Amino acid sequence: MLSPADKAAFHRDGFLIVPDFVTPARCDALTDHVAGLIAALAPAQGVSIFTTDEQQRHADARFFESAGGVSLFYEAGAVDPDGRLTRPAALAVNKIGHALHDRDPEFAHFSRDPRLAAIAGAIGIEQPRLVQSMVICKPPGIGGEVSAHQDATFIRTEPASVIGFWFALEAAEAGNGCLEALPGGHRLGLKRDYLRVGDTTRFVERDEAPWPDHGWVPLPASRGTLILLHGLLPHRSAPNRSDRSRLAYTLHVVDGRAEYLPDNWLRRRPDDPFTGF
Ligand SMILES: O=C(O)CCC(=O)C(=O)O
């Protein structure tokens, strides 16, 4: 699946862009499926907000339970002070997570594409474990910023082993908040840890220096593109102020040879362990 040049580029840059990984028909089918999921889940679930803004970020019971389920999380800008949605749910969801790869048949099948297993193997993941999946909606007008981070902050193994498979189900461009990354930044070391502490979470800094201002590059992605992300690669995305949505699916995989640390926020029940491809 990956040529020697692809592998070299991934190890050099910390990411690899694979255009046309998902067919247009599959992107359309998954986009329709997401609309159906939101329509089915919104009436049944309460309104939880998700934001990467640290002043507003908080982990509640729904967030922790979503480690093994499928929950909707809304944009802060779509919820009024009384906790009611100010727009239709289809235009208000920030993300759906975090176990679509196990609980949702469509995404479970999509996530177990043998090509993904081949890619994981090619970059050295010998015992892949699928730990987290999200649909990231970035709705038009209010889609929230994803602040700069490394996935290894949030999905912690010793040694760090997480990789991300990020799929553009719709075109992602500079205008609607495509991914941005710091090429080679995966060699800078892990900046911080996100820990579960009792019924809440907190960040613990390893390196107080701010992220570099320069060197970030946009990673525009046509519909169907896969972007493979090293777990230590700094990446982010801008808010979506455009009139176009920017639907993406992301799957995070760790290596079962590394210890999955007990203070991860994302924990599954003992009878519901992580599985491979
Ligand atoms: O889709 C985005 O804007 C951010 C996704 C992300 O950070 C991830 O998949 O790790």
- Write out pLDDT tens, residues 163-191: 999 999 999 999 999 999 999 999 999 99
What is the Cα–Cα distance from 156 to 117, expressed in whole angstroms? 21
Distance between Cα 134 and ligand 1 center (Å): 9
Query: Pocket of ligand 1, candidates 96, 137, 235: which has the most ligand atoms within 8 Å of its Cβ, to mutate?
Result: 235
**Residue 216 included in any domain:** yes
Asked whether 144 lines ligand 1 (CB < 6 A), one says no
**Residue 266 included in any domain:** no
Look at ligand 1, atom 7, and give the residue with the nearest C-alpha.
236
% the chain with pLDDT above 90: 90
**Residue 40 included in any domain:** yes
pLDDT value, residue 265: 96
Query: Pocket of ligand 1, candidates 146, 216, 246, 247: which has the most ligand atoms within 8 Å of its Cβ, to mutate?
Result: 146
Q: What is the pLDDT of residues 237-262, one digit of tens each?
A: 999 999 999 999 999 999 999 999 99
Distance between Cα 236 and ligand 1 center (Å): 7
CATH classification of the domain holding 225: 2.60.120.620
**Residue 53 included in any domain:** no
Contact between 148 and 234 under an 8 Å Cβ cutoff? The reply is yes
**Residue 271 included in any domain:** no
Token couple for 131: 């730990």
Point out which residues pair with 17 in neighbouring strands: 227
pTM above threshold 0.85: yes
Asked whether 166 lines ligand 1 (CB < 6 A), one says yes
Say yes or no to pLDDT of 56 above 70. Answer: no
Distance between Cα 84 and ligand 1 center (Å): 26
**Residue 115 included in any domain:** yes
pLDDT value, residue 47: 80
**Residue 82 included in any domain:** yes
Distance between Cα 40 and ligand 1 center (Å): 24
Look at ligand 1, atom 1, and give the residue with the nearest C-alpha.
136
**Residue 268 included in any domain:** no
Residues in the chain: 277
Question: Is pLDDT larger for residue 31 or for residue 44?
Answer: 31
**Domain total in the chain:** 1
Asked whether 146 lines ligand 1 (CB < 6 A), one says yes
Structural domain span for residue 156: 4-47+60-260
